[in-house]
Amino acid sequence: MKSPSLTVKAHPLAGMGLAAGLLRRTVLHQLYKLRHGQLTLHHGDQQQLFGDLASPLKAEIHVLDAGLWGLVAARGSIGAGEAYIHGYWTSPDLTAVIRLFVANLDVLDSIERGALALFGQPVIKALHWLNRNTRAGSQRNIAAHYDLGNELFERFLDPTMMYSAAMFAGTDDDLERAQLNKLERICQKLDLKPEDHLLEIGTGWGSMALYAASHYGCRVTTTTLSRQQYEYTRQRIAEQGLEDRVTLLLEDYRDLRGQYDKLVSIEMIEAVGHRFLPTYFKQCAHLLKDDGLMLLQAITIRDQRYEQARRNVDFIQRYIFPGGALPSLQRMLDVATQHTDLNLLHMEDFGEHYARTLRLWHENFRQARGELERHGYDEQFYRLWEFYLCYCEGGFLERAIGTAQLLLGKPGTRRKPLYVG
């Protein structure tokens, strides 16, 4: 069975009556500070209300095991996620719970600065340090997520197999249509021509490369570190007869050579790591011709939270994307300005589209639960990924994180201005 490797099952004091009561009071003391949204907490036959009772944002938590209190007190948001995976609590609307706590980041910060939580942070940070994105580390980190099995991703992604924010042009767009919208918009922003040679850093399952080659007639070189994505994409290229247009590599971006007219990288920068951002941007600039264009799609964190996030480890980094690190818009622009000759030509934020994308992924994931179990993904794995999808959706809905497309150009580019509308 495929099951997550959890660091702990519960705080060692959680099962002891007196200790459990103290831990529960410690957490409840913080919940009384909630100001945005209304939280209803159910524990046995008890019900408690916290926050703004008139708020339209309402969330419910049903406590099923007292082990929850120890995990939250000792490990903050990571502990809350671990407790959910173990079935210590549940909610009829998990995304609403995430939204409520994102809307009250001061309370969440206070919990994670508590005495017990501070005691556990060095261990979590040490484990994350082991996942730094050296060449060997990047290989391990990519495999840990993207090589979980193509059968997993096929069950919740749409037929394009795009694992990134879609762009919805209207309320009637389904997920596949919205992903194709995104691919078309990227190609238009890059002003792709048949004579162009496009480099893609981060192949995914091949849709960007295949779309550009088949719809715009350009040559594409694309690279990935995931062996399963490599084999999947190699088969798709052959099935579409595009071997003469698409070159597929299994190489680290740092080892790429050559000169390209255009470059695209869709939500790969989150796997680069804070330390390697200058290396990444310098390499991208080096690989572009003097008049080249680069389209970067990135998940971003608020500029105001960047430094704090950089110093800490969250649930996603611990259990979903080892080595992951969200940049902020300002950080990316600062690095590009200080270390390259790239200039920002256009920027578009569409984080709310990612929330909708995640909601649809979650619906597909729920519907495929029985099939995933037959493929060996157990109950804990299902709850881990459910928490992950709702965790991200809540973050986008509350604008704690965003999604942006940045069009960057070398000094010689003469791209016509882009107008949205």
Quickly list DSSP for 42-93: EETTEEEEEE-TT-S-EEEEEE--THHHHHHHHHHHHHHHHHHHTTSEE-S-
The SS3 call for residue 4 is: coil
- Report the CATH architecture of 135-409: 3-Layer(aba) Sandwich (3.40)
**Token duo for residue 50:** 């916290």
Q: What is the pLDDT of residue 331?
A: 97
Report the sign of the C-alpha dihedral through residues 108, 111, 117, 122, in that order.
Answer: positive
Q: Give the closest residue to 286 by CA, choosing from 260, 265, 267.
A: 260
Measured distance CA(32)–CA(234) in Å, rounded: 55
Place of tokens 């791209």: 415
Tally Cβ neighbours within 10 Å of residue 300: 22
Per-residue confidence in pLDDT tens, the chain, 421 aa: 565 655 444 444 444 555 778 889 989 999 999 999 999 999 999 999 999 999 999 999 999 999 999 999 888 889 999 999 999 999 999 999 999 999 999 998 888 775 454 445 554 544 444 455 665 656 665 665 666 789 999 999 999 999 999 999 999 999 999 999 999 999 999 999 999 999 999 999 999 999 999 999 999 999 999 999 999 999 999 999 999 999 999 999 999 999 999 999 999 999 999 999 999 999 999 999 999 999 999 999 999 999 988 888 788 888 887 778 899 999 999 999 999 999 999 999 999 999 999 999 999 999 999 999 999 999 999 999 999 999 999 999 999 999 999 999 999 998 877 765 4
Catalytic site residue 392?
yes
Angle, alpha carbons 335-336-341 (nearest 5°)? 140
Q: What is the pLDDT of residue 363?
A: 98
Q: What is the pLDDT of residue 76?
A: 87
Instruction: Output the pTM of the full model.
Output: 0.90
Q: What is the pLDDT of residue 149?
A: 81
Q: What is the pLDDT of residue 310?
A: 87
Provide CATH 3.40.50.150 ranges for the chain: 135-409
* Paired sense of beta strands 401-409 and 288-301, if any: antiparallel
Catalytic one of 187, 218, 390, 392: 392
**Token duo for residue 192:** 């792709």
CB contact set of 5 (below 8 Å; sequence gap of 6+): none
Measured distance CA(163)–CA(357) in Å, rounded: 9
